[in-house]
Chain A
Amino acid sequence: MKKTAILAAALLAGTSIGASAETLRWARAGDSLTLDPHAQNEGPTHTLSHQIYEPLIIRDMTGAFQPALATDWAPKADDPNVWVFNLRQGVKYHDGSDFTAEDVVFSINRAKSEDSNMKELLSSVVEVRAVDDHTVEFVTDGPNPILPSNLTNMFIMDKGWAEANDAVEVQDVEGGETTFAATNAMGTGAYKLVSREPDVKTVLTQNENYWGKDTFPMDVTEIIYTPIQNAATRVAALLSGEVDFIQDVPVQDLGRVAETEGLVVKTAPQNRVIFFGMNMGADDIANDDVEGKNPLADVRVRKAMSMAINREAIKQVVMRGQSQPAGMIAPPFVNGWTEEMDSSAQTDIDAAKALMEEAGYADGFSIQLDCPNDRYVNDEAICQAAVGMLAQIGITVNLDAKPKAQHFPLITNGETDFYMLGWGVPTYDSEYIFNFLVHTRGEDRGSWNGTGFSNPEVDEMIVSLASETDLEKRNETIQSIWNVVQDEQLYIPIHHQVLNWGMTDAVGIEVSPEDDPKFKFFTMN
Chain B
Amino acid sequence: MLAYIIRRVLQSVLVLLIVGLVAFAMFSFVGDPVDNMLGQERTQADIERLRQQLGLDQPFVVQYWRFLEQAAQGNFGLSYRQGRPVAEILMERLPATLELAFVSGLLALFGGIALGIFTAIRRRGIPANVIMTVSLIGVSLPTFLIGILLIYVFSVELGWLPSFGRGEVVQIGGWTTGFLTESGLKALILPAITLGLYQMTLIMRLVRTEMLEVLRMDYIRFARARGIREKSINFRHALKNTLVPVITITGLQLGSIIAFAIITETVFQWPGVGLLFINAIQFVDIPVMAAYLMMISVMFVGINLIVDMLYFAIDPRLRVDRTAGGH
On A, residues with C-beta under 8 Å from B are 33-34, 36, 39-42, 117, 120-121, 171, 173-179, 182-183, 197-201, 226-230, 232-234, 236-237, 239-242, 374, 403-406, 408-409, 412, 436, 443-444, 447-448
Contact = CB atoms under 8 A, between A and B. Distances in A.
Q: Which 8 pairs, one residue from A and one from B, show the smallest C-beta to C-beta distance?
A: A405-B31, A41-B39, A174-B53, A120-B41, A406-B31, A409-B32, A200-B271, A240-B155
A236 B39 contact: no
B38 A173 contact: no
Given A117-B38, A178-B84, 11 more contacts: A39-B83, A40-B39, A174-B53, A198-B89, A200-B166, A232-B151, A242-B164, A403-B30, A405-B282, A406-B29, A448-B40
A175 B77 CA distance: 9
B84 A200 contact: no
Contact of A447 (B42, B80, B267): B42
B277 to A, nearest CB: 12
Contact of B39 (A34, A117, A183, A404): A117
A53 B42 CA distance: 23
A237 B33 CA distance: 31
A33 B288 CA distance: 14
Nearest to B53: A174
Contacts of B81: 33
B269 A409 contact: no
A239 B54 CA distance: 44
Contacts of B155: 236-237, 240, 242
B45 interface: yes
Given A200-B271, A443-B43, A33 B32 contact: no
Contact of A199 (B35, B44, B271): B271
Contacts of B275: 199, 229
Nearest to A445: B43
Contacts of B79: 173
A121 B40 CA distance: 11
Interface in B9-60: 29-33, 35-45, 47, 50, 53-54
B270 to A, nearest CB: 10
Contacts of A229: 266, 269, 275, 278-279
B104 interface: no
A436 B40 CA distance: 9
A409 B37 CA distance: 13
B111 interface: no
Nearest to A121: B41
Contacts of A242: 155, 162-164
Contacts of B77: 176
A236 B151 CA distance: 7
B165 interface: yes
Interface in B130-168: 148, 151-152, 155-156, 159, 162-166
Given A198-B82, A240-B156, A41 B41 contact: yes
22 contacts: A34-B82, A40-B39, A41-B39, A117-B38, A120-B41, A174-B54, A178-B78, A178-B83, A183-B84, A226-B165, A229-B266, A229-B278, A230-B269, A233-B148, A233-B151, A234-B164, A236-B148, A236-B151, A405-B32, A405-B284, A409-B35, A443-B45
A313 to B, nearest CB: 29
A474 to B, nearest CB: 21
Contacts of B78: 173-174, 176-178
A226 to B, nearest CB: 6
Contacts of B83: 33-34, 36, 39, 171, 173, 178-179, 182
A485 to B, nearest CB: 19
B82 A33 contact: yes
A236 B36 contact: no
B43 A412 contact: no
A39 B79 CA distance: 14
A230 B191 CA distance: 14
B31 A409 contact: yes
Max count, chain B CB within 10 A of own CB: residue among A176, A404, A405, A408: A405
Nearest to A178: B84
Nearest to B266: A230
Interface in B259-282: 266-269, 271, 275-276, 278-279, 282
Contacts of B163: 233, 236-237, 240, 242
A68 to B, nearest CB: 22
A240 B159 contact: yes
A233 B194 CA distance: 14
A504 to B, nearest CB: 15
B267 A230 contact: yes
Contacts of A233: 148, 151, 163-164, 267-269
Interface string B107-140: 0000000000000000000000000000000000
A452 to B, nearest CB: 15
A228 B269 contact: yes
Contacts of A227: 269
A408 B35 contact: yes
